[in-house]
Amino acid sequence: MREQIRQLLKKVYLDGVATELLQASRHILFYTTRKLGRVDHRIIEKYFSTHEIRKLHIGCGDHVLDGWLNTDYFPKSATVLHLDATRRFPFCDDEFDYIFCEHMIEHISYPQGLAMLSECCRILRKNGRIRISTPDLAFLIDLYKEEKSDPQKEYIKWASDSFLTYAPFNNDTSVINNFVRDWGHQFIYDEKTLSESMEMAGFTNVTRCELDQSKFDALRNLENKNRVPEVCLILETMILEATKLTAGDQPV
């Protein structure tokens, strides 16, 4: 029996290594193909030449927005720019008017997220505006309370049915545990932490917004409501906007 277990563990380990090597080779091939073909260079050049008001969408996935320079780590389209948000962005200072990032920052570590926010501030023009949508830690904490609202009950049922088929019953503890670990989540922000991080990166006038709502026309109706049921998206999502200002400037 011990020998069978040892062989099984060895197979699992080797399969895991093989999978990691295959993924790494695919990543290298993807990156090399994009660079050699100057795909990303052409995407940036075309966008800049046709848009006076420049808007950067970080981590677009399948949610490609018209009029925006859509980016993703592994683009599924030749029209989407490859962007590693954990590294220096391939743009000069003060090149964009707006930045939108939806349910992406939680997929990188906190130091990487702070570096990303700093890069966003660098490439924005004066009075440029950023909009960050991300899960709210407070929503997870509230899910654990004994008294639950109807939307919270609906969220727990939806999450359990969709992602926790192994669980014997709908359970807030299982949903919370899964949320902080699944989908590559690295750091779940609360409003205080994200707001302070945006200010550390150089932003000011941080304000919380409702789904699809903003003082600025360019930042309205951007969230991907097809990703999850809307009542669940509203419940889990925190949206903060902020402005890039220099000393002595006033927000517009």
Q: What are 167-180's pLDDT values in tens digits? A: 777 889 999 999 99
Backbone angle region of 227, left / alpha / beta, with phi > 0 → left and psi within -120 to 50 → alpha: alpha
Q: What is the mean pLDDT of residues 141-150?
A: 96
Give per-residue pLDDT as tens, 55-104: 999 999 999 999 999 999 999 888 999 999 999 999 999 999 999 999 99
| pLDDT tier at 247, thresholds 50, 70, 90 | low
Residues 6+ apart with CB under 8 A from 81: 40, 43, 44, 69, 70, 71, 72, 75
Q: Which two tokens stand for residue 53?
A: 């008001």
User: Model's pTM, two decimal places?
Assistant: 0.85
Q: End-to-end alpha-carbon separation of the chain, Å?
A: 71
Q: What is the CA radius of gyration of the chain?
A: 21
Q: In the chain, what percentage of residues exceed pLDDT 90?
A: 77
Residues 6+ apart with CB under 8 A from 221: 212
**Is pLDDT above 80 for 15?**
no
Give per-residue pLDDT as tens, 27-45: 565 666 666 658 899 999 9
Predicted confidence at residue 168, as pLDDT, reads 76
152-162 as b/e: b if 16+ CB within 10 A: beebbebbbee
- Hey, which bits of the chain come out as E strands? 55-58, 69-72, 81-82, 96-102, 124-135, 203-209, 237-244
Residues 131/214, Cβ–Cβ less than 8 Å: yes
